[in-house]
Chain A
């Protein structure tokens, strides 16, 4: 008997075969990592195992019982818990409320329709929060948390369910270094009675953590075995990392320092959510044709900065494009020539890839044809609904969408989040190409290696302020300085 067993599972979305006959057997107490390039079907595999999707064909067995087609809550009652790749929370509740909700699910008090003190439960919940490092945030509404902290709430909820089988969808994605270490520590100390199945792009962690590794590729199991065997398997290396590993060395041509008037000029920008001020007076400049990076850990205000520049958030301060002050509001700023590639990609439900691209299209240098040239993958998928694309394809779509606006300045918010190494490389090549062709880029990243291989100038954002502005080359040569800010 297995903790989880999948027998010849098939699942397709609108002509897109996400799982093409997957067999998987996970034994009790095992730690299993599912790895594979983006679009391999990992997330779909989780959704099928978690009961969110019914497989088109095949069987799912949980603890030896056939559960194909059962709704998620039945699986949860049998002892399955899962976290989501993109935190899925209750916007009006605080952190404590979330974890209490998870702990209540199988508690007799969960059905009580009259107020009741939950002191016993809350003690247990605070313990979980302590473990994930959120106890000081217990009373904070989740909307005020950073993305990384929201992911920690996800994990805390799953732990509070006391599952027998835990499915973790990229537990380390979007976390800052300190948070990563903490999560790794938590995962390593999980009791052995708990079976853990995780998807992870951090291969060093995945191989170190797992007893066995399953490599998924194009909806099929490419290889399964002990981490060391899989790590050395040439076939796996090829699909996962790509053939040439030389490209990393090629840094952007360090052009002469750019002069002339600034394309984008930001002065004293302040913004926040409700009571909390996130940006405390930010100044920055982007010159025409320049690629500029904003580095900073999670929760330092990178997304807020881009949103405020784009006009998605009310903000005080000055934002000028080509010397002209920009109107408030995202519409006016989009028309003035800003385009944002948002964090989390945000495809538009109900539209196909091509429809979404046509929606963005504004006459200019970038045409649909030029975009398909840049992203051949999007041409192949142009009739697929944008929401069924894999994470990497959605990222391409998000960049393509912004480019088709033919903007004067492209704002990118963590374009590499949750992407496999191969795709990170693809995205970097694309962005380098754009830079070479003279596009101006403003990139917010916490993946410093990625950003430094791409940009010329770097701003470091710390607690809503710019603490350093320097040539990217300097940071490349002085990793200690980088480490100081990026932890």
Chain B
């Protein structure tokens, strides 16, 4: 982790002291999106795969939690979150099982197609269950966490736990293997590692983690909407991970913080905030590419 990253986390922990409901809302969004963007960055870090379909797991986790809690009451929250995670894991495993023969842009398109399928099914397939275009309103907060500040801090603790686990994983023998997998897949295979199994593991974990992010989001926001499943949500997650640098452990959280803060800042000045966000992103990509300008040629 970057040297300054703990300071970012510390600053996030102080957000409730600002006292405003708005700051707290932004902070909670950072945690929810940060978890999901970390899931996406984790998949890249460990396999080199880039997904444009993580809204299926993020939004899917939110829907699964919302459905269960709405129908059976707030007391089933632990169960609902667990189920959301398991569903994220299972669907991600199935998707990767079918898609892992493909690489790069093809994997990207496959994940996109899958998430669009989920989006359409939820939006138009079963409006009776999923609420169709309106989504599902009126999702209660988990018991004991009704207070926004408490909910936020619990989320921050969860996020910290996830990052510590991520760090431990990358430092572990298995994590080292998967770090190598991203750099040179063929070589890892020749060394005797079953790369297909390793990739399945990474995508399963990534899907589960994105679903957890979705579950956290719905618990705070109180409703889900088909937009959470749309490809723009996947795109935003990807942009967050990329802005954070993809590879560092902090990528997802840093990216989520920057984008959510920028959106809040720009939209308070202008309705055209999307335009300025776009300019910012292009500038960020340009600097990132320039700093990597030197080509490696060998000694």
Interface residue ranges, A against B (CB under 8 Å): 50, 52, 71-73, 76-77, 82, 84, 88-93, 97, 100-102, 104-107, 109-116, 118, 143-147, 150, 157, 161, 273, 278, 299, 301, 303-304, 307, 312-314, 342-343
A278 surroundings in chain B (CB, below 8 A): 299
The 5 nearest A-B residue pairs measured at CB: A76-B192, A105-B192, A90-B183, A307-B297, A115-B171
A84: B residues at CB distance < 8 A = 187
Contacts of A101 in B (CB 8 A): 176-177, 180, 188, 191
- Closest B-chain residue to A299, C-beta based? B299
Question: Which of B173, B175, B299 is close to A118, meaning CB atoms less than 8 Å apart?
Answer: B173
Ordered by A's residue number, 17 sampled pairs between the chains whose C-beta atoms are within 8 Å are A89-B187, A90-B180, A90-B184, A91-B296, A97-B176, A104-B177, A105-B191, A110-B193, A113-B174, A118-B173, A150-B298, A278-B299, A299-B299, A303-B299, A304-B297, A313-B295, A342-B297
Contact A106 B299 (CB under 8 A): no
The docked-state distance in angstroms from the alpha carbon of A109 to that of B176 is: 11
Q: Is B189 in contact with chain A by the CB < 8 A criterion?
A: yes
A76 and B191 in contact, given A104-B177, A114-B168 (Cβ under 8 angstroms) = yes
- A23 to B191, alpha carbons, bound, how many Å? 26
Q: Which residues of B contact A100 (CB under 8 A)?
A: 176
Question: Which B residues are within 8 Å of any A CB, using their own CB?
Answer: 168-169, 171-177, 179-180, 183-184, 186-195, 294-299
Given A90-B180, A147-B298, verify A115-B191 contact (CB < 8 Å). Answer: no
Q: Which among A105, A118, A314 has the greatest number of chain B C-beta atoms within 10 A?
A: A105
Main secondary structure of the interface of B (DSSP, over half): helix
Q: B177 touching A313 by the CB < 8 A rule?
A: no
With contact pairs A93-B180, A97-B176, A112-B173 given, residues A71 and B299 touching in the complex (Cβ less than 8 Å): no
A92 and B183 contact, CB distance less than 8 A: yes
B171 contact set on A, CB distance < 8 A: 115
Which residues does chain B contribute within 8 Å of A52, judged by CB atoms? 186, 190
Q: Do B192 and A303 touch (CB < 8 A)?
A: no
A150 to B299, CA, bound (A): 10
Contact of B298 among A104, A110, A113, A343 (CB under 8 A): A343
Cβ A88 vs Cβ B187 within 8 A: yes
Q: Name the residue on A nearest B184 (C-beta).
A: A90
The residue in chain B whose Cβ has the minimal distance to the Cβ of A82 is B190
- In the complex the two chains form, what is the Cα distance from A102 to B177 in whole Å? 9
Most chain A C-beta atoms within 10 Å of own C-beta, residue among B168, B171, B176, B188? B176
CB distance from A124 to the nearest CB of B (A): 14
Q: List, in ascending order, chain A residues with CB within 8 A of B187's CB.
A: 84, 88-90
Bound-state Cα–Cα, A431 to B191, Å? 40
- Minimum distance in angstroms from B109 CB to a CB of chain A: 19
From B168, B173, B179, B189, contact of A110 by CB (8 A): B173
Q: Find out whether the CB atom of B177 lies under 8 angstroms from the CB atom of A110.
A: yes
Q: Is the CB of B184 within 8 A of A88?
A: yes
Centre residue among B171, B174, B195 by max chain A CB count within 10 A? B174
Would you call A72 and B174 a contact (CB within 8 A)? Answer: no
Closest-by-CB residue of A relative to B247 is: A92
Are B296 and A143 neighbours in the complex by a CB distance under 8 Å?
Answer: yes
Question: How distant is B192 from chain A, measured CB to nearest CB, in Å?
Answer: 3
Measured between beta carbons, the chain B residues less than 8 angstroms from A342 are 297
Q: Are A273 and B168 in contact (CB-based, < 8 A)?
A: no
Nearest chain B CB to A114 CB, angstrom units: 5
Complex: how many Å from CA A1 to CA B298? 43
Is B191 a contact of A273 with CB atoms below 8 Å?
Answer: no
Nearest CB in chain A: distance from B197 CB, A: 9
Given A88-B187, A116-B173, A343-B298, 18 further pairs, Cβ under 8 A? A88-B186, A91-B184, A92-B183, A100-B176, A101-B177, A101-B188, A104-B173, A112-B173, A113-B169, A113-B175, A145-B299, A146-B299, A161-B192, A278-B299, A307-B297, A312-B295, A312-B297, A314-B294
Chain A residues with Cβ under 8 A from B183's Cβ? 90-93
Contact among B172, B189, B298 for A114, CB-based, below 8 A: B172
Known: A88-B186, A104-B177, A113-B174. A161 touches B298 (CB 8 A): no
Greatest chain A CB density within 10 A among B168, B180, B184, B191 is at B191
Picked from A72, A109, A147, the residue with its CB within 8 Å of the CB of B173 is A109
Q: How far is the CA of A304 from the CA of B298 in the complex (A)?
A: 7
**Interfacial chain B residues near A76, Cβ < 8 Å:** 190-192
Q: How far is the CA of A106 from the CA of B295 in the complex (A)?
A: 35
**Which residues in A have their C-beta under 8 angstroms from that of B191?**
73, 76, 101-102, 105, 157, 161
Determine if B168 and A115 form an interchain contact, defined as CB atoms under 8 angstroms apart. Answer: yes
- Which partner residue on chain B sits nearest A145 by CB separation? B299
Q: A112 near B172 (CB under 8 angstroms)?
A: yes
Write the chain B residue with the least CB distance to A110. B173
List of B residues within 8 angstroms of A303 by Cβ: 297-299
**What are the residues of chain B within 8 A of A143 when measuring CB–CB?**
296
Interchain CA distance A303-B179 in the complex, whole Å: 29
Interface centre among A84, A88, A110, A116 (most CB of B within 10 A): A110
Docked CA distance A109–B172 (Å): 9
User: Which A residue sits closest to B183, measured CB to CB?
Assistant: A90
Are the CB atoms of A73 and B297 closer together than 8 Å? no
User: Which residues does chain A contribute within 8 Å of B192, judged by CB atoms?
Assistant: 73, 76-77, 105-106, 161
Q: A73-B194, A88-B184, A92-B183 are in contact. Are A313 and B189 (CB under 8 A)?
A: no
Taking CB atoms, residues of chain B closer than 8 Å to A72 are 186, 189-190
